[in-house]
Amino acid sequence: MNSLLALLIIPVIGSAAAAILQRYRIVERLITFLTFSLTFLFLFGIKTGNLFTWHLDFLGKNLEMGLQITPLSIFMLYMTIAFGIVLTFYNLSEKSKMKGFLLLLTLAASNWIFMSADLISFFFAWELMGWSSILMIFGGRREAESRQGALYYAMMSIGGSYSMLIGIFLLSNLTGTFSIQSNVSYLVSILSVHPWWVLGILSLFFAAFMIKSGIFPFHTWVPYTYGEAPDGFVPYLSSVMSKYGVYGFLIFLPLTLGAHVPTVLGLAWPNYVLLWFGSITAVVGSVLAFMQDDVKKLFAYSSFSNLGFILAAIAIFTPIGLTAGLFHAFNHLLFNGAIFITVIAVISKVGTTRMSEMGGLWQKMPLTFLTFFVGIAAAAGIPPFAGFGSKWMIFQAMISHGLIFATILLFFSSIASFLYLMRAFHAIFLGQLSHRYDNVKEVSAIGKITESFLLGALIFFGILPGFILDPINSIVSSFGLKPLPTSGYEYINGFFSSINMVSIFIVVIIAFIFGFTLFAVVAKHKKVPQEDNYTAGQIPQDWNLTPEMYQFSYDFYEPMDKELAPFLKVKIDGFFKGFGESVEYIGGAVKEIFTGNVQIYTYLAIGGLVIFIIAGWVVW
Amino acid sequence: MKTYNIAALLVGVPLLMAFSIPLFGFISKQLAKWITVLTLGFEFFFALYIFLWHIYPFNVIMGNWVPPFGENLYIGPFATVLIILVSFVGLMISIYNLWSANHGDVVHFALLFLMFVGGSIGLISTGDIFNIFIFMEITGISSYALAAYGPERRALGGAFKYLVVSSIGSTLYLFGVLLIYTQLGTLNIAEIAARISQTTSGLLTFAGILLVAGLAVEAELFPFNGWVPDTYTGAVNPVSATLSGIGSVGGVYVLFRILMTVFGKDGNFVSTYGNIDLMSLVAILGSATVVIGELSALAQKNVKKMLAYSSMAQMGLVAIGFSIGSKMGSYAGVFQLVNHSVAKAMMFLILGVIVSFGIGERIDDMKGLWYKSPFLTITFTIGSLSLLGLPLFGGFWSKFALVDASIQRGGWYDFVIAIVLFASVVEAFYYLRIVGYMFTSKPISTDKIKVSVSPAVPIVAFSILIIAIGVFPQIVGGISWNAAHELTDKMGGYVLNVIPTIVGH
């Protein structure tokens, strides 16, 4: 079988099998896992330049549909399917109501998105991915909230894809073809003549991509949906599905390479605008994240904040910008996957998502603790873990263009991310263990394998980033840019300098050993129960204090919250909700036309007729 | 002119069998129901034969009186695809009725049902505008009675409203026909179509307005669609399925046969003769219908009423598609009509099964249906996703084509399509809300719903068809394209096939 086709058909077959056997949860999960693995095997059979076309008799034409493989699609396919294997393997022991057959449909759609050579299949796959993920989100931990989250996502997602649909037709009616390549080159050819028109088309497409990636101002659905989706699906949402938008951007971003458009600080102005969207997203995500008490929501904000970094980097679209963006996309997949998998492991053990009800869990779940720790270290960009290199490169790319203000924003966001990561880290794992969790156990063997694997990957790709930078370099050169120089797997070559990650790793290890020795030798420990702390001899119950209030992270950033309160009154979320409410209100009013009274209906019909006749008369 | 007179059976057999059903009813009630199944099975396979062996387009000449002197049936690609659709939906609903119609006057129910389907097929195939009126009355009268069938009081109210509004509609239609007849002295569609420019423009406009107003009742266009919510909600579910899956097909067919073939002025985009462009009028009506239908559906708490409003809105979409007047627009219209009929009929049938197990028809009652019956949940989801135009299901392609056609036409259709897409987002909200209720919320009692064979067959067949169209759009696409050609090229596509010697004026 053709490998390209196999990447679409195998998940669909697996999905059908999983749907039929969905009653037996273990079998269903096993099928999901095996299908992901089988799809991955077929991935070895595809190479850059592979092409598969077929003809579809539609719209009265014989349309050519196609699948094609570019270095970018190979990169995305490997990344997403490999992560899917890890996640579905973990899910073998996970009990949330995630429907495997929908995940497999999403996989088929995802593969198709990355391979499609024409806009029809791209849109088909995009919508398929849309609805299968929407249906998946129904069935989260909390019923009503998960329904709300899914509907919010659905509205945004469908709105976005309709905007893309209009863009597709505006474009294809001019070029007479649906092929992505010819449409993009058409846009390039008219860019200097009709820049506003091109910008209009691009915004229709970019709206869809921004919504899918959760870029400001369309980020509002992300916390609701990530927060309420079934636990087993959240890692996929954040690690894999947010990348579709990135892929979409990368289809259209090469536009400004060859054309003569006005520039700002050496950047074509559409790119400059996108860069600002990215930077603002990074800040908004970080600032909102550190006020969350719900751990899934916190990392939802964190997730799209990182997407802001990625967008800012790829918007620059120089060799270093593109490399940095793709590298950060990979790292984001890895560390966000690790964070979310450990987080859902914790949630499944403690049964709550509120951080103020957790605490001290490192004693019970040491491996989870360690994986989470390395995950957030990577997310914060602490060397030598994955995540450091890409952030470092992003800053280099920004500074090399002299984008001072955007760089400051990203720095600010990076520091803010320390704040919320620290909070989550402390609130979940450090501090005192509540008595409720005396019986909590470490994750099952399957969970341990998954976590160790992710831990290993975070360290491995941190100290040997060359394994990822190599394929990224081939993507960069496929866009016609000159890739960054390479010098061994352990080096990251930036704009100003290069870093040897292995030596950094050794330094960090030595520092850690030194610090740990000091800690072990010098510090005096005394274990006290949770209630013994902070009260200074008062009886807590007299003051209406509950154990949660003693939790280290309870109202953790209260002063900061107060400072930021005026800014938070501006709610984009409120705009969308208000819009929805007014539509519903109008619906209620319109409904009253159909009163159920036949006289009214008769008047309506006669009235309509009279209006027509008058209209006819006037024109006559 | 190609003739194939045996195809008169398409109209004759169901009407004949309908009136002999009381005789079979003397033997057994079951037999009466089986007769409907067999008759409609014959219709379906005959229509399929006409389609697959590519016998269309052809005429049926009565008594060797060639048109325009005699009465004729003309079955071109448009009629073929709709007859297949109507007979298929009819066949499926009649199979469903084996299970569902088991109280009350079953024999007369079977009679009326068969008469309704036969009348619709006649409506679609006839080549004479007065016969259209006759078939409209046949379908109308049988559907009033069908809508009143069932134990519930609300059925009577719904049927009465339908009766009143629909009578107004057919009277207006008759007036319109009268005006044309006074001008041209003929009732044959092909001849009128060829000579339409000889009429007085003012009278023609007036006639056109009367015809559009009259036919908009059946085509469910605002403001002539007041009957829709109450009648659909009141009728028993298979009847609602019949009305939305078959009745509206006939209405839309006649509306655009008159507008595009009779009144149509060929061009890049078909417009109509007369002082105002009736196609634009229908586009405005269609947009209003879509918006009003979707917004009203949003505010509903009753799933059946929601389906009724959605049905209205979908017919608005179909009307917009045809009213674009281009080949692509008619293509989208036919395609959307097929997808809507199949999906909506299926959803009413599913609702019928759900209700028969004592579960209510409010949204809240749908909670946790997944735990009671994954089969019904999945099929209902397939139907709603198809209506929403999501991929893997038929509706995707028709909505895709509709947007394409509107953007190709450009001008004020850009606004129309923007309205339509906005309304579609609203539609997505309320359908996904129902689906969400079905998938979430474990109900208190998880008694499994055992769906017996005869309702399961149509539901399965409909969902397979929806997915088949979704994966292979060419199943419907090919013939839809021919139908679009028939509609947009009135001389070559219709008139010359009926009266080869006529000269267009």
Q: What is the ipTM of this complex?
A: 0.91
How far is the C-alpha of A274 from the C-alpha of A282, rounded, in Å? 12
Nearest to A162 among B408, B425, B435 (CB): B425
Nearest to B328 among A59, A166, A590 (CB): A59
**Sign of the C-alpha dihedral computed for residues A369, A371, A376 and A381 taken in this order:** positive
Q: What is the 3-state secondary structure (H, E, C) of A466-477?
A: HHHHHHHHHHHH
What would the mean pLDDT of B5-10 be, rounded to a whole number? 86
Structural contact between residues A307 and A215, judged by C-beta atoms closer than 8 angstroms: yes
Nearest to B436 among A19, A151, A165 (CB): A151
Q: Rg of the Cα trace of chain B?
A: 21
Chain B residue with Cα closest to A583: B295
Chain A residue with Cα closest to B390: A127
Q: Look at residues A244, A126, A163 and name the one whose alpha carbon lies nearest to residue B425.
A: A163
- Does A134 sit within 8 Å of B429, measured CB to CB? no
Decide if B234 is inside a domain: yes
- Does B441 sit within 8 Å of A601, measured CB to CB? no
* φ, ψ (nearest 5 deg) of residue B445: -105, 130
Chain A residue with Cα closest to B432: A151
At A535 the pLDDT is: 58
How far is the C-alpha of A587 from the C-alpha of B429, rounded, in Å? 12
**Sign of the C-alpha dihedral computed for residues A165, A166, A170 and A173 taken in this order:** positive
Peptide bond into B500 cis (omega under 30): no
At B82 the pLDDT is: 92
Q: Hey, which residues does A61 pair with through a beta bridge?
A: A58
At B88 the pLDDT is: 93
Q: Hey, which residues does B75 pair with through a beta bridge?
A: B58
- In percent, how much of chain B has pLDDT > 70? 99
User: What pairing do the DSSP bridges indicate for beta strands B58-61 and B72-75?
Assistant: antiparallel
* φ, ψ (nearest 5 deg) of residue A346: -65, -45
Residues in A touching B324 (Cβ below 8 Å)? none
Give the total number of structural domains in chain B. 1
How far is the C-alpha of A387 from the C-alpha of A384, rounded, in Å? 8
**B298-313, pLDDT tens digit by residue?**
888 889 989 999 999 9
- Does B436 sit within 8 Å of A150, measured CB to CB? yes
What would the mean pLDDT of B69-78 be, rounded to a whole number? 86
Q: Is A143 on the interface with B (CB under 8 A)?
A: yes
**A434-466, pLDDT tens digit by residue?**
777 778 888 888 888 888 999 998 888 888 888
Q: Look at residues B121, B145, B123, B117 and name the one whose alpha carbon lies nearest to residue B135.
A: B123
Decide if B329 is inside a domain: yes
Residue B53 has pLDDT above 90, yes or no: no
Query: Tokens standing for B62?
Result: 């009565």
Mapped onto helix, strand or coil, the DSSP state of residue A493 is strand
**B179-193, pLDDT tens digit by residue?**
989 888 888 888 888
Average pLDDT over all residues of chain B: 87
At A537 the pLDDT is: 62
Domain residue limits at B14: 2-498
List Cβ neighbours of B308 (8 Å cut-off, separation of 6 or more): B228, B229, B231, B232, B233, B240, B244
Decide if B505 is inside a domain: no
Residue B346 has pLDDT above 90, yes or no: yes
Decide if B503 is inside a domain: no
Size of interface A-B (CB pairs under 8 A): 187
**A489-515, pLDDT tens digit by residue?**
777 776 667 778 888 888 888 998 998
- Does B226 sit within 8 Å of A604, measured CB to CB? yes
At A1 the pLDDT is: 60
Q: What is the 3-state secondary structure (H, E, C) of A158-187?
A: HHHHHHHHHHHHHHHHHHCCCEHHHHHHHH
At A101 the pLDDT is: 87
pLDDT band of residue B101 (cuts 50, 70, 90) is confident
* Lowest model confidence (mean pLDDT) among A550-564, B18-32, B290-304, B395-409: A550-564
At A533 the pLDDT is: 57
Interface test with B, best of A135, A590, A597 (most B CBs within 10 A): A590
Residues in B touching A60 (Cβ below 8 Å)? 327-328, 331, 477, 481, 484
How far is the C-alpha of B35 from the C-alpha of B101, rounded, in Å? 14
Nearest to A58 among B296, B397, B426 (CB): B397
- In percent, how much of chain B has pLDDT > 90? 25
What would the mean pLDDT of B402-429 be, rounded to a whole number? 88
Nearest to B227 among A58, A151, A601 (CB): A601
- Does A124 sit within 8 Å of B205, measured CB to CB? no
Query: Which parts of chain A have pLDDT scores under 50?
Result: none
Residues in A touching B161 (Cβ below 8 Å)? 598, 601
- Does B390 sit within 8 Å of A127, measured CB to CB? yes
